Structure 1
């Protein structure tokens, strides 16, 4: 398994991001779906990784830097074929290690309260994240769960 910085140009990656966006918009009202599209994921304050096993895309995730001390996890997604195989845990650990090495002190994220997001919330809680209030530009939202972790 390899975790690589990705430029989001491959069709497999574009398809996985579109699946992610489709699911986010299917489970949350439009104003509460905070998933980033391809153009937003290419901004300079975001590093985007993909996880591969040979030529099979297993998942993706990103780190958005808000300032010198705070970052945010974005676009965590595991492909349907790779679910429940520990891919998300390995990628999350990679992102957290990279964030810490970059000098970030706090990592936060936004996810949903719906059952669809229960596995994600469990993964983050298992890795030391706890619920918090809105951060960065987020506002209170009944369709959002905010979580944070000090590095």
Structure 2
């Protein structure tokens, strides 16, 4: 399938399947522009020699890392983690796989917030800090 029109059609069908399965709140966020869809090249996030591994967290940490890297705001990152419906123990395991230290007595919401901060928030903060200031007249 090398015809660009055929490729575009195939991509649009896959996007439609994906969007159809989203919960109403995520659809609303896409519609009002507070969320966006992103292209994640999965070949960059895992090598061919290492298949997707389900960790102690019960999810593929590499996939979660890539998905969170593609998310453009903290609220969407928090919704993404909430949608995974992980227990506190699984969130702790995921944080460990992602290289994020969480306090021993951290609650579920705290762990989710730490994961979002270290995967989405730091990138957004860095982008905001490195953005040149507006020229003053």
Q: Same fold (TM over 0.5)?
A: no
TM-score bracket, normalised by the shorter chain, equals 0.3 to 0.5
TM-score normalised by the chain length of structure 2: 0.33
Output the TM-score relative to the length of structure 1: 0.31
The structure with the largest alpha-carbon Rg is 2
- Indicate the structure with greater strand content: 1
